[in-house]
Amino acid sequence: MIRQNLTVRCKYGLHLLMASQIAKITTSSASAVHVRCRGCPQVNACSALRIMLLEATEGTPIEVTVEGSDEATVLKALEHVFEEGGGI
C-alpha cells in the first residue's frame, strides 16, 4: 500500500476534467484507489462525482491511498494529472 499527499495545483481547483481523468486511471487499474482531503471521509477514486464532492480548491493537499499490484504505476499517473492540472 502506498499513501501519498498530492497538491491540487490548478487555479480552478479539482475540477470535473481532473476528476474524470483520475477516475479513468483508477477504473482501468488493478489497484484500489481512495482519496480524501481536509478531514473529509475517504472516497473511492473510481467515481468522478465523489471526487468532485471533496470540493478541493487550489493548494489543497489530497491524500491518495493506492493498494494493489500496479500501485506504483497508478500513483505515477495520478501525480501527472495533479501536476498538469488536468490539462487546463
Which residue out of 9, 15, 24, 50 is catalytically annotated?
15
> Between helices 71-84 and 16-27, what is the axis angle to 10°?
170
| Coil/strand/helix, residue 63 | strand
Whether residue 66 contacts residue 21, with contact meaning beta carbons closer than 8 Å, is answered with no
Q: Among this protein's residues, is 80 annotated catalytic?
A: no
Residues 6+ apart with CB under 8 A from 33: 25, 26, 44, 45, 46, 64, 65, 66, 67, 74, 78
| Catalytic residue set | 15
